[in-house]
């Protein structure tokens, strides 16, 4: 049976490594590497639902989709970083964090989950973060990033429940890749414990190992790079 995989955010460090790893493994007949910076059939902008819908329409014409990974995320940009205190909260920055980290992946799910091949055990995964766990929050700060990732985790749970009604073996999860040596984490790598800063290639393989071990009973959950379940 022909199978397709879709990587959204394929121009980023983790996304590019995921696309390369899947290509090397050779288990999929078609790998779609979609990103905002790419053109033509490889373009997608997760802040633009029309762009998401158009990309899904193109993917729908190919082999049945067995894997979708949303590898996008926003922690900082050229002018703003994660908030350390209430006095730093800004409505525009909070909205942008939610647009990229929660709303975008939810809209991707809206258009791509219906493409998942129901006869198999297809996987829809979105990159989240351990700091999105409410029960694990002991330091505070990073208001927008934490809250938007917590929102993503709830959205993933909702998607999992709905998807299981039409495709009982579907698996919808959020994944924490750990701290990966990419531009997203670059300003914050100084506090990473030795051996816990992963290069993108290693991070991609770890995430794919977790995905390979998932079962339908795992749908709706959040898992770390080592397979550990992260509680809400």
pLDDT tens track for 82-115: 999 999 999 999 999 999 999 999 999 999 999 9
In the predicted model, is pLDDT for residue 56 greater than 90?
yes
Per-residue pLDDT averaged across 133-137, rounded? 94
pLDDT of residue 187: 64
165 confidence band (pLDDT: 50, 70, 90): very high
pLDDT of residue 146: 97
Q: Average per-residue pLDDT in the chain?
A: 94
Per the model's pLDDT, the better-predicted residue between 57 and 179 turns out to be 57
C-alpha separations of 100 from 27, 109, 116, 144, 193 in Å:
30, 13, 23, 11, 28
What is the domain class of 4-230 according to CATH? Answer: alpha beta
Count of C-beta atoms within a 10 Å radius of residue 171? 24
Helix locations, 104-216, DSSP H: 104-112, 143-166, 200-212
194 confidence band (pLDDT: 50, 70, 90): low
Per the model's pLDDT, the better-predicted residue between 80 and 187 turns out to be 80
Give CA angle at 216 (212, 217), nearest 5°.
115
pLDDT of residue 197: 79
In the predicted model, is pLDDT for residue 53 greater than 90?
yes
Rounded Cα distance between 9 and 211, Å, is: 18
Q: Picking from 13-27, 75-89, 185-199, which range would have the lowest pLDDT averaged per residue?
A: 185-199
Q: pTM for this one?
A: 0.93
197-198 and 179-180 beta bridge pairing = parallel
Which residue matches tokens 């709706």? 220
Which residue matches tokens 């902008």? 45
Residue boundaries of the structural domains of the chain: 4-230
């Amino acid at each position: 049976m022909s199978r397709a995989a879709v990587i959204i955010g394929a121009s980023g460090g983790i996304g590019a490594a995921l696309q390369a790893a899947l290509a090397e493994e050779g288990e999929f007949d078609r790998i779609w590497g979609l990103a905002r910076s790419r053109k033509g059939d490889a373009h997608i902008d997760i802040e633009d639902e029309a762009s998401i819908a158009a990309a899904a329409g193109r993917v729908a014409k190919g082999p049945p989709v067995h894997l979708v990974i949303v590898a996008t995320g926003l922690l900082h940009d050229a002018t703003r970083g994660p908030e350390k205190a209430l006095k730093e909260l800004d409505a525009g920055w909070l909205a942008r964090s939610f647009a990229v980290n929660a709303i975008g992946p939810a809209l991707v799910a809206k258009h791509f989950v219906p493409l998942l091949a129901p006869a198999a055990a297809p996987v829809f995964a979105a990159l989240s973060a351990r700091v999105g766990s409410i029960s694990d929050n002991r330091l505070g700060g990073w208001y927008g990033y934490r809250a938007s990732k917590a929102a993503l985790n709830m959205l993933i749970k909702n998607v999992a429940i709905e998807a299981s009604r039409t495709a009982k073996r579907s698996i919808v999860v959020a994944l924490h890749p750990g701290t990966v040596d990419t531009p997203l984490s670059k300003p914050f790598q100084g506090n990473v414990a030795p051996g816990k800063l992963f290069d993108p290639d290693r991070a991609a393989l770890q995430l794919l190992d977790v995905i390979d071990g998932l079962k339908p009973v795992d749908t709706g959950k959040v898992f770390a790079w080592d397979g550990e379940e992260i509680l809400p």
